[in-house]
Amino acid sequence: MSMYEKISQADNSRDIELMGSLFADNFKFVRHASGMSLNRDQMLNMMREMEKHGGMQFNQQRCIYENDDILVIHSVNDYPDKTREAVIAVYTLQDGKITGLETGATPL
C-alpha cells in the first residue's frame, strides 16, 4: 500500500492513532502561515483537539506525486472553525515513515 493510500485511509476513517503510526519519531510539521514547527506529539495533540471540535474534512483530495522520498497531495480542507482552504501538502518520507510535512494554503 502506498503512503498516499495509508494517509487517505487514516483521513477517511478519522483515525488519529493510525495517522500517528505513519509519523517517524523525528517527525516535524512546519506551519505554512507562521513558519513555526510542531513535533510528532504536538501534531497529534493538535489533530485530537481539532477532532473534538468536529475535525478536519479533506475534500477533492488527490495525489500529485509520490515516490519513496516525497509525497505531494492537494485537497480542499474544511476546518472546525468553518474556514476553508485549498492546501498543497508536501510529505518527506524515509524508511516507510513520514519525517516531515510542510503545507501551503490559499483561503477559499
What domains lie within the chain, and their CATH numbers?
3-107 (3.10.450.50)
pLDDT of residue 80: 83
Give residue 63's pLDDT.
98
Q: Confidence band (pLDDT; 50, 70, 90) for 31?
A: confident
Note the pLDDT of residue 79.
86
Distance CA 86, CA 21 (A): 26
User: For 50-103, how does the pLDDT look when each residue is reduced to its tens digit (9 = 90+)?
Assistant: 888 887 888 899 999 999 999 999 999 998 889 999 999 999 999 999 999 999
d(CA 64, CA 35): 23
Per-residue pLDDT, averaged over 9-24, amounts to: 94
Query: Environment class of residue 53 by beta-carbon count within 10 Å: exposed (0-12), middle (13-18) or buried (19+)?
Result: exposed
**pLDDT for position 41:** 96
Give the pLDDT score at 96. 96
